[in-house]
Structure 1
Amino acid sequence: MSTPAPENLSRRKQLVRSYQMAKKSDPRLGLWILGATLLGAAVGFLVIWLLPGDGWISTVFTVVGAILTGLLGGMTVFGRRAQRAAYSQMEGQPGAAAAALGMLRRGWKVDPVVAFTKQQDVVHRVVGPPGIVLVGEGSSPARIKALLTSERRKHERVVAETPLFEVVCGREEGQVPLPKLVKHVTKLGRNVKPAQMTDVLNRLKALDANRSNIPLPKGPMPTNMKGMRGNLRGR
């Protein structure tokens, strides 16, 4: 029996699945959530209790406020630690950078594996406010650099006027660690207006149409994290 896709699960089941996956690499996750919930409830209770007011209505507001702040604290800690656990589980797997880039919000277009080697060194492409970002990942910095250089030349032929950035995801010197990849990409600036992106994407479609139909590299690809992001934010 196949496992249902995350988008086909109810929000409650998605939360349970996210918790179960995160707990594998973060055994104390439950204690952290409980502690944050109790601390948030205590702070919320104290703050609202100190506000002017009296009678049963004030008591109700105080209790409800404590519960809500407690839940907010617990969910905040859960979201952060679950995301950290997800990165920890993905790091080092082929395609991990593509899964992390799936966390980018609207206004970004991510194309996983636009180029690769037989050794599973890959280049992903991101189009967004900074321009075009080519993200490389793999086991050999030399092969990744050569692959990025090749892709840069191909892209410059069709979108020469669009800013183009190269990023290597990894833990070696000069590389960007997986947990910091999305933040790094979003801080590259705002050089392309939304109206210009349509033209850029159309030109890239022409570039991709001329690529050889070579099969994608074999091996498991990590689950896209976009569902987890939306789920933890209540979307």
Structure 2
Amino acid sequence: MAKQIDPAKMSRRQQVVETFRMSKEVDRALPWWMLGAFLVFGAIGFGIFWILPGSGTFALVMAIVGGVLVGLLAMMIVFSRRAQRAAYARLEGQLGAAARALTMLRRGWQLEEMIGFTKQQDMVHRVVGPPGIVLVGEGNASRLRPLLTSERKKHERVAAEFPVHEVVVGPGEGQVRLPELVRHVRKLGRQVKPAEMTDILYRLKALDAQRPKVPLPRGPVPTSMKGLRQNLRGR
């Protein structure tokens, strides 16, 4: 079995190649979609630059260069969208999938994985960000409900004046599907200021100090998510 490499130690080219390889395992049509986007939008770009004022060799060169640039941009957009979809497909159904997806939240967000759990491997993660405190549960909905209620009470005791949100990941009614999780959390709005977030995190330190650290299992799936975050978003 090939040894997994930490994405942080990869070059940008290696990360893109790894993201493409893992995405292609799930989405076999990915290369054809990328090729189609390059050809179609490259042709459109060529046409746009060709009709601009100018003539002769210079106009032809500019049309070719413009077409290639537009085609490459379209190809990378298609790559980004389909690779992200493939990454979520790889994550879905795996232990700790919600925590892996939540790593897509970067600037202005603080993620703590598995702050609560059951013996049946149901778990609750916490994100602190502009909406306040967001408790994200994954697992069996009936077992998660008392676990989320318990965690909510703990958090309200130490940060009563700040909003606490509950999210359950899953396909059921009132739940949020994994591919929509990050967008759903972001759409909870801005209810706390950056300075207040610092205050929240300080208050939660004492609460977290009482918890046993149970690390989530790592594997090849997070690599794809990190590759998307670091490369396709240009960060």
TM (norm. structure 2) is 0.94
Q: CA deviation at 1:220?
A: 6.0
1:208 corresponds to: 208
Partner AA of 2:117 in structure 1: F
Structure 2 counterparts to residues 112-123 of structure 1, below 5 A: 112-123=113-124
- Which residues of structure 2 form unaligned runs of 5+? none
Residues 136 and 168 of structure 1 are in contact (CA less than 8 Å); yes or no, is this contact kept in structure 2?
yes
Q: Is 1:232 paired with 2:224? A: no
Residues 36 and 77 of structure 1 are in contact (CA less than 8 Å); yes or no, is this contact kept in structure 2?
yes
Q: CA deviation at 1:200?
A: 0.6
Structure 2 counterparts to residues 1-235 of structure 1, below 5 A: 2-138=3-139, 140-211=140-211, 213=212, 215-216=214-215, 222-223=221-222, 225-235=225-235
Once the two structures are superposed, residues 135-163 of structure 1 have per-residue CA deviations (whole angstroms, 9 ceiling, x without a partner) of 0001x211111110010000000000001
Once the two structures are superposed, residues 56-104 of structure 1 have per-residue CA deviations (whole angstroms, 9 ceiling, x without a partner) of 3322221111111000111110110011011011101111001111111
More divergent stretch after superposition (4-13 vs 26-35): 4-13
- What's the C-alpha RMSD, in Å, of the aligned pairs? 1.7
Corresponding residue SS for 1:136: strand
Corresponding residue SS for 2:222: coil
Partner AA of 1:96 in structure 2: A
Please give the alpha-carbon distance, in whole angstroms, between the structure 2 residues aligned to 1:179 and 1:115.
Answer: 22
TM (norm. structure 1) is 0.94
Once the two structures are superposed, residues 168-226 of structure 1 have per-residue CA deviations (whole angstroms, 9 ceiling, x without a partner) of 00111111000000000000010001111111100011111122x26457686941623
User: How many pairs were matched up?
Assistant: 233
Q: Identity across aligned pairs (percent)?
A: 58
Q: Which runs of 4+ in 1 moved over 4 A?
A: 216-222
Please give the alpha-carbon distance, in whole angstroms, between the structure 2 residues aligned to 1:8 and 1:70.
Answer: 30
Residues 187 and 223 of structure 1: is their aligned pair in 2 closer, same or farther, counting only changes over 3 Å?
Answer: same
Partner AA of 1:86 in structure 2: A
Please give the alpha-carbon distance, in whole angstroms, between the structure 1 residues aligned to 2:214 and 2:21.
Answer: 34
